[in-house]
Every structure is written in structure tokens, then in C-alpha cells.
């Protein structure tokens, strides 16, 4: 299977031939629980999902692996990749650059796996302009207060980074209410319930991949 990407006159990345299961975009405020749900989903369904490994200029957190959680890079290197047309989308979030390379998605789709993209709301908007045609899922916290507590308890952010993330979360929570942006919004209050809801939405695609084996 060969994937052909082209950029049209408006600068939008369009893909040519592409087949296989529909990709999935997981979005929502930082600290809402995307990684927690995603890791569990991938562990429970081995050989079904593949993670689109994004690039970022932020520093790795303890336990994060280069090439697995992210491709950790510099602003200069990432900007060069963007200038060379290597990215489907990229965004500035909380003082760092993040982006999805074409190769990240192609690597997963070449294996005929369901490609999962974890991107912020800016990424969602850019992907909507592409031909990727994913299922759009938003993971939301029950409230700002609970989100703040989860982010603080995670102990990964400085106070400055935490405040930036909370500000971005306010915008995300407003935008995700707009009709038509997401196929489904999951409120991650009780983790078990949120996980069951996520599996239910993805059931059809999961079955397709399992049956194709």
C-alpha cells in the first residue's frame, strides 16, 4: 500500500491512496486522562492499535521514551521538518511545539492497525482540513477543579506550565462543546465507565481489525 500526500493551493495536506481501518483522534485538556485510557486500550487489544508518535520540543517526563511516547526534538529540527512538508499538522501548546509527521501515521497504517492520534484542539482543526477522516473523540474532565487536582497530583508540571495548561483547558472545554467538532465527548469521571464508553465507540473498528487477522 502506498500513501501519497500532497499539499493543495491553500497549504492543506491531502492524502492520496489510503485504506485500512479508520484512525482515531483523541483530544481533550491536558490531564483529562487521554494517556491513561489510551495505554489501557492498547494493552488490552494487542496488535489492534498503533500510536502515532508525535514530535515535541518539550522535555521528556520520567518514564517517557524517545520514539515511543514522542520524538523529542529541538525547535530548529522540527521547524526544518515542517518547512520540508514532513508534517500533517503542528501546533504551539503551553510554550512548546507539537506535531504529527506523515511518517508517524504511515508507520501505523502500513501495518493495517488503527492509528491513534493524541492531539490538542488546534491539531483537531488541522486534521479536519486533511483527508484523514478519523473518528474524533474528546476526553473531558468532570470539572476544572478536578482537572487541576489531577494535574497537580501527576507532579509533571512546574507552576508556570500548570497554569498554561489550565488556561488551554478552559479554551478546549468551551470549543469541544461546539456541535460537530467531535463525534463523541466522554466525561472521564469514573475511569472504568469512561473506558467502557471508549471501547463501545471503537468496537466496530476493533472487530474489523481482529477479523482481518
Residue positions annotated with a catalytic role: 61, 154, 165
Residue selected from 23, 31, 99, 134 as contacting ligand ADP according to rule CB under 6 A: 31
192: Cβ contacts below 8 Å, ≥ 6 apart: none
Tell which one of 58, 154, 164, 199 touches ligand ADP (CB under 6 A).
154
User: Which is nearer to ligand 5GP, 11 or 213 (by Cβ)?
Assistant: 11
Q: How far is the CB of 36 from ligand 5GP (least distance, A)?
A: 12
Among 57, 73, 100, 176, binds ligand 5GP (CB under 6 A): 100
Residues 6+ apart with CB under 8 A from 189: 142, 146
Mark 70-108 as b/e (b = at least 16 C-beta within 10 Å).
bbebeeeebeebbeeebbbbbbebbeebbbbbbbbbbbb
**Using CB under 6 A as the criterion, what x/- string covers residues 110-129 for binding ligand ADP?**
--------------------
Q: Indicate the residue among 133 and 189 with the shorter CB distance to ligand ADP.
A: 189
Stretch that binds ligand ADP, among 27-35, 56-64, 171-179, 204-212 (CB under 6 A): 27-35
The DSSP output letter for 9 is T
Run of H or E including 125: helix 121-128
Closer residue to ligand 5GP, CB minimum distance, 3 or 208: 3
Please say whether the beta carbons of 115 and 24 come within 8 A: yes
32 vs 108 by CB, closer to ligand ADP: 32
CA angle 149, 153, 157 (to 5 degrees): 100
54 touches, from ligand 5GP, ligand ADP, none (C-beta below 5 to 8 Å by class): ligand 5GP
- Rounded Cα distance between 123 and 106, Å, is 17
Residues that bind ligand ADP (CB under 6 A): 30-36, 150, 153-154, 188, 191
Amino acid at each position: 500500500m502506498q500513501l501519497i500526500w500532497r499539499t493543495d493551493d491553500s497549504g492543506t495536506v491531502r492524502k492520496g491512496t489510503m485504506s485500512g481501518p479508520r484512525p482515531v483522534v483523541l483530544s481533550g485538556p491536558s490531564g483529562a486522562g487521554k494517556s491513561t485510557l489510551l495505554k489501557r486500550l492498547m494493552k488490552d487489544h494487542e496488535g489492534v492499535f498503533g500510536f502515532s508518535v508525535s514530535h515535541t520540543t518539550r522535555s521528556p517526563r520520567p518514564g517517557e521514551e524517545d520514539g515511543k511516547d514522542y520524538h523529542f526534538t529541538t525547535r530548529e529540527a522540527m521547524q526544518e521538518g515542517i518547512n520540508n512538508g514532513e508534517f500533517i499538522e503542528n501546533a504551539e501548546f503551553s510554550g512548546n511545539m507539537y506535531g504529527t509527521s506523515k511518517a508517524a501515521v504511515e508507520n501505523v497504517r502500513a501495518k493495517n492497525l488503527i492509528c491513534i492520534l493524541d492531539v490538542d484542539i488546534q491539531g483537531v482543526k488541522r486534521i479536519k482540513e486533511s483527508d484523514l477522516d478519523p473518528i474524533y473523540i474528546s476526553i473531558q474532565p468532570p470539572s476544572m477543579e478536578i482537572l487541576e487536582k489531577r494535574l497537580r497530583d501527576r507532579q509533571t508540571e512546574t507552576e508556570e506550565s500548570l497554569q498554561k495548561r489550565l488556561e488551554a483547558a478552559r479554551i478546549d472545554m468551551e470549543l469541544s462543546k461546539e456541535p460537530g467538532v467531535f463525534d463523541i465527548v466522554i466525561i472521564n469521571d469514573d475511569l472504568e465507565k469512561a473506558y467502557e464508553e471508549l471501547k463501545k465507540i471503537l468496537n466496530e473498528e476493533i472487530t474489523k481489525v481482529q477479523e482481518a487477522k
